[in-house]
Structure 1
């Protein structure tokens, strides 16, 4: 393995950093390793360890997707202690090129290379392959991106769509808005549609119903809902799915993304059967006169675990990134 044949790609979050090698002209990740960010002082130490683990002395170029804003040459990770300068890292390793992109931009680019076996159809179709695609997903936050077709490829959109205002549609949701507004001030959809958002929603429903909310973590709410022994948790998870459908439908109307909606991240696959039977579809399609547009737009859950690495590999050769 030499610098001539391989590039390094990474998908770096708050807890874990996924690294892989890709051959020139390919996006298929090889020699994937998942490293714990807390075990390394900084990015460069993790890169050195990864290359040693896979027996590669050097690579020619690299692209990393990071869970943080990317602006200028200084990167400060949002949910871990890593800080680095892009040009300093490039020079340190002697790479001819080093790209750093936002993690959800990488998700969008990775969707282009996800195989059909990792796409679970939720609703809608057949869509229009010539139109834009919406890529979103709940995780630590609510990531939102998109893909716009051009003559010879795709341009990924870098957005903060998870921070649009939460728009209640009935008296219960008005009460939820009041409860969360008292806690946070402004209430974005991310306050409801992410891991912590699920817990916020659970606690708000408990307050409205005047019942205890003993569960203190989103994974506990999900587990209780799936076990069908907790009516509050199950109601909350159904509402979560419906809200996600409404926000995804709004995104389609805004972006014109009738090419499809791709729901990414590790949250939805954990309760996929529940999600497929939930109110997501009704929330997604309930757009009044625009219902036929939403009914014709396909929605997929992406179950590929390394979509971010695929996107980082795509970004290496994509001149629009």
Structure 2
């Protein structure tokens, strides 16, 4: 039986007449890295705030670790670590002191965890430097460090690579993969850097104007974005015979518009043209198809518009 860390049922948030989150259903399985994608104002941060208890839903159900009653939710939230929007720091204190304050607030005994967390996020050399003098990237690392206090089972991260340089982005990606792989921590992460999210996430949820347009796994995304040649000819039957008998491939499918979607010879369309010409097949179109995550996202929300 599939174990879900988070499920929402018709989760909704309204501010007066504005519906910011509109009856969304999220399904995040244990061990997944769930990439939450949407434009500014789509409802990502509001959804995360409701899940963590920072905001109260107008209606709908939040189910964490299988629990959805008020008392059970409060207990389940103790198993969550989060970095949402701009985390609150004590600017006149060091990173160590900030994590110490977070540890005390969460009721976590012992200080041994502080040094190991600082080392993990790459802030062990900051010593007594005040957080108010940190760069944006260093503050993001500290935000992750504070989210890791208490060994959470579920991490909720809102734009964690914001302000990081290219090296910092790669390091953050590898750290999150390590947490997921070595500690089996489930992660919900939003980011506007979709190319980076593609390298990290195992599944995706796309939200637009407060509504979930689609949930899909990385495998399903790759299938939908798979590179191919889209071919239109004057004689479809003859063309399929040539593909199978001359070019030795059946790795294609016939599309609803009677074009051929061919997954072989993607980098050698000239071979297709030559073989079809020899068979007196007229080619009306032969073009490359295939999207990356950015293309897929843009096409999906444009279609919704």
Tell me which structure has the larger Cα radius of gyration.
2
TM-score scaled by structure 1? Answer: 0.27
TM-score scaled by structure 2? Answer: 0.28
